[in-house]
Amino acid sequence: MTTVILRAALEIEDLSQLQAEFPRVDFVISDPKKNAKIKPALLAKAEVLMSASLDSNELAAAPRLRWVHVPIPSTEHITSLAVSEKSNLLVTSTLSSNPGPAGAFVMGAILSFITGLHNYEHTRDTQILDPTFKAPARLPSVEELQLLQIGLGPVGTEVTRHAQHFNLKVWGMQDPASFHPYCRKVFPLEQAQARLPAADIVCLSASEQHVFPPCLGDQELSLTKKGAVIILLCGDHSISNYELEHLCKANNPRAILVDAHLKDRPSATSPVWTLPNLVLSPGVCTPVAPNKKTVMRSFHHNLRQFVHHNYCDMQGLQQTSLLRYPSS
């Protein structure tokens, strides 16, 4: 019998549905609100774990563990642990229930920056009255532009999906580099310096721990293409003046969009104000956390695929390029 540990607050109805469909599965509930450690004897026979956390000691105590389902979108700490210590471990996450508006928001910003639409609002009165005003002779075609999306989580994926719809040349960047349905090619983060100079648009979805990861430091920003559009999606992170001033290292960008919560307002003398076409938005692209029904629906679907060994059909599957699918 397969042992499944559910470190989650489950409704009786949800548990009953699982037990009815999977009678040969032993479901064990571990309430996360009590912060109770899972007993080593239970971990020793567990093959499936649903939990938002997994430390090295728990992983070492679970030699039969084959799949971890995370009830939130982010799996960064669990995924890196699984890849480094147990490369045959399947890791899935519950995808954000509403990442779609982020893609539309970013694509709207890209089109506005590339066409110069944002400039017309600031000077609309003088343009209407000035007979010498002339529109640009040629607006750039989006099909000519190359987007480098750094970070391919739910938000980054939505950005690439919208960009592909507009026929942009879409590159992705993440660790490890693996297949992505909306990217022509995906590169590892260590190749950032080689890829940034060719990108017309650089969009970074911040990781859980860092707003500015090593792949977009001062040196990398200085290598960005002259006239590039730079977009930072910081989710629910707060961003400091120091981090904003970091953007001044960019190589004469066309425009910069920072979607984040500001810790404090930049001073009047801050070099941030010298950045051309800087747009600050208050965390518009923060993913909506999945609710309980979404979590259970995702886990139920994935458990069905797991039991029938349809691993490629599991939703929110992480690090697929490194995984050796568990033997049945």
Cα–Cα dist 133/108, whole Å: 25
Residue 17 confidence (pLDDT)? 93
Cα–Cα dist 230/39, whole Å: 48
Candidate ranges 88-102, 116-130, 189-203, 305-319; pick with highest mean pLDDT: 189-203
Q: Is 2 exposed, middle or buried (0-12, 13-18, 19+ CB in 10 A)?
A: middle
Residue 10 confidence (pLDDT)? 80
Q: What percentage of the chain has pLDDT greater than the value 70?
A: 78
pLDDT tens string 253-269: 889 998 887 777 778 88
Q: Where are the domains of the chain?
A: 2-97+290-313, 100-281
| Continuous segment of H or E residues that includes residue 74 | none
- The band of 77, judged by pLDDT with boundaries at 50, 70 and 90, is low
What's the average model confidence in pLDDT over 186-199?
A: 92
What's the average model confidence in pLDDT over 208-226?
A: 69
What's the average model confidence in pLDDT over 104-130?
A: 75
Q: Decide if 235 contacts 206 (C-beta within 8 A).
A: yes
Residue 209 confidence (pLDDT)? 41
Residue 177 confidence (pLDDT)? 82
Q: Decide if 63 contacts 46 (C-beta within 8 A).
A: no
Cite the beta strand spans of the chain per DSSP E.
Answer: 2-6, 25-29, 46-50, 67-70, 90-93, 146-150, 169-173, 185-187, 201-205, 229-239, 255-262, 278-281
Q: Across all residues in the chain, what is the average pLDDT? A: 81
Cα–Cα dist 72/95, whole Å: 7
Angle 281-108-208 (CA atoms, 0-180°, nearest 5)?
50
Global pTM exceeds 0.85:
no
Residue 121 confidence (pLDDT)? 62
Q: Decide if 294 contacts 272 (C-beta within 8 A).
A: no
Candidate ranges 139-143, 175-179, 284-288, 313-317; pick with highest mean pLDDT: 313-317
Q: Decide if 250 contacts 271 (C-beta within 8 A).
A: no
What's the average model confidence in pLDDT over 117-141?
A: 62
Q: Provide the token pair at 234.
A: 């910081």
Angle 315-60-75 (CA atoms, 0-180°, nearest 5)?
30
Residue 208 confidence (pLDDT)? 46
Q: Is 288 exposed, middle or buried (0-12, 13-18, 19+ CB in 10 A)?
A: middle
Edge-to-edge strands, sheet with 201-205: 185-187, 169-173, 146-150, 201-205, 229-239, 255-262, 278-281
Q: Provide the token pair at 227.
A: 């006239």
- The band of 148, judged by pLDDT with boundaries at 50, 70 and 90, is very high
- Give residues with Cβ within 8 angstroms of 302, minimum separation 6: 67, 69, 92, 314, 315, 316
pLDDT tens string 15-59: 999 999 999 999 998 866 655 678 889 999 999 999 988 888 888
Q: Provide the token pair at 42.
A: 């239970």
Instruction: State which fold the 100-281 domain adopts.
Output: Rossmann fold (3.40.50)
Residue 323 confidence (pLDDT)? 36
Asked whether residue 99 carries a pLDDT value surpassing 70, the answer given is no
φ, ψ of residue 36 in degrees (nearest 5): -80, 140
What's the average model confidence in pLDDT over 114-138?
A: 63
Between residues 227 and 128, which one has the greater pLDDT? Answer: 227
The CATH class for the domain spanning 2-97+290-313 reads: alpha beta
Q: Is 206 helix (H, G, I), strand (E, B) or coil?
A: coil
Between residues 185 and 132, which one has the greater pLDDT? Answer: 185
- Extract long-range pairs of 19-27: CB within 8 Å, 24+ residues apart: 21/300, 21/304, 22/303, 22/307, 25/1, 25/303, 25/307, 26/1, 26/2
pLDDT tens string 59-73: 889 999 999 998 887
Residue 271 confidence (pLDDT)? 85
Cα–Cα dist 71/92, whole Å: 9
